[in-house]
Amino acid sequence: MSGLSRRQLLVGAAGVAATGGLLGIADLARSATTNAANVSGQLRIGYLPITDSAPLLIAHSAALYPAGVVSSAKPILFRSWASLAEAFISRQVDVVHLLMPMAVQLRYGLGGGVRVLGWNHTNGSALTVAPDIHDLSDLAGAQVGIPGWWSIHNIVLQQLLRANGLRPVVRRSASRSERTVELVVMSPSDMVPALANRSIAGYVVADPFNAMAQIKKIGHIHTFLGDVWRDHACCVLITRDDVIASRPAAVQAVTDAVVAAQLRINADRKAAAAVLAGRYLPQPLPAVQTALTYPNPPYAFAHLDWQPQRLGFQPFPFPSFTQRLLEAMGETVVDGDRRFLDRLDPAHVHTELIDDQFVRQSLFAHGGPSAFGLPTDLTRIEEVQPL
């Protein structure tokens, strides 16, 4: 697939807007029309300013991308998942980290030729709440911010709410007597001020926004999502079918660089934080360093042995996760068209969505599964236990 038609882009704008997008149909169509020609032929990287993007950014900082293959310019920063997805759809960027449920939605709901090359990271997200919120039942009748409908954050939050007798609702006010919680899509950068002024009772998002709430003393982490779904994938590395078909060597080089960057981060997280803070991420060093190094904080972990607070970096996309994710997406409330899910067989999506030939080669070129603490047969059983 060489790209989306103008009609597909117009339809796609509505789909992306349902994730909480900032641009309208006219904006997306215009961006597709005026997208600057990539005369250099070099791949362009896009990212959101969160610690989830660290492998892409460290790869740039350490000059791991081969010259002439990836643009030497600083990766392009976007402020919301919707704007990043819109830029990817309209071909302004070629390789990005994206919420895996959103990658599913873009491929099957829009037909955008999205292919997942591997995992960008695991865990790294939490439910952060106002100081007076202690039990999940305290959220009854309140609003909680989420980064997008098609996000692991929304999926796991809803699992948590249901497990505690609460019901998530959209486009209707929450009721304490009915034990409902209203979910509101917000850009991650807007969540901290919204919690500070108490317009929301909490938010679920990637770091360093959870660490920021602690540092500013406007909220506290209630649950690390890794304490609900062990080592779950959040962001994945994606490109398009046509990029893979036309430039497989370039795709391999990008994958190699990201895998090498993951190892580099794991080897010295404080050094990685120092590189990221200020230059690539707008958050201060204490927040970024906390997000990358979380010591065991004074939380009542249900599964301390899972290291649920630890932002993990490993590249292999387990098929078991893809299947379990599709099953969970079918149970999750969203504000938008979800009919595409009815056409999908969770057991078969992995082979269509994921192209793991590049990450397998990268993995074995960088020490094999053991270098990342992975099982040698590259299989696992998903552990999902809402608290």
Return the pLDDT at 16.
Answer: 52
DSSP tag of 78: -
Report whether pLDDT(39) > 80: no
In this prediction, residues 291-307 reach a mean pLDDT of 88
Locate all alpha helices (DSSP H) within the chain, ordered by sequence: 6-17, 25-34, 54-61, 81-89, 100-104, 152-163, 188-196, 209-216, 241-246, 248-267, 269-276, 285-293, 319-329, 349-353, 357-365
The candidate with the shortest Cα–Cα distance to 330, out of 78, 89, 101, 83, is 101
Report whether pLDDT(8) > 80: no
Structure tokens at 233: 């994938």
Summarised one tens digit per residue, pLDDT across range 145-180 is: 999 999 999 999 999 999 999 999 999 999 999 999
Return the pLDDT at 29.
Answer: 35
What rounded mean pLDDT belongs to the chain?
90
> Quick check: do 6-123+232-372 and 125-227 share a fold?
yes
AA letter at 260: A
**In whole angstroms, what is the distance from residue 56 CA to residue 76 CA?**
11
The number of C-alpha atoms within 13 Å of 117 and in the hemisphere containing its C-beta is 30
DSSP tag of 306: G
Q: Give the Å distances, CA to CA, from 328 to 205, 206, 217, 316.
A: 18, 19, 33, 20
Sequence ranges of the domains in the chain: 6-123+232-372, 125-227
Which CATH number is correct for 6-123+232-372, 3.30.2020.10, 3.40.190.10, 3.30.530.20, 3.90.226.10?
Answer: 3.40.190.10
pLDDT band at residue 38, thresholds of 50, 70 and 90?
Answer: low
Class of domain 125-227: alpha beta
The candidate with the shortest Cα–Cα distance to 38, out of 249, 243, 280, 245, is 243
pLDDT band at residue 252, thresholds of 50, 70 and 90?
Answer: very high
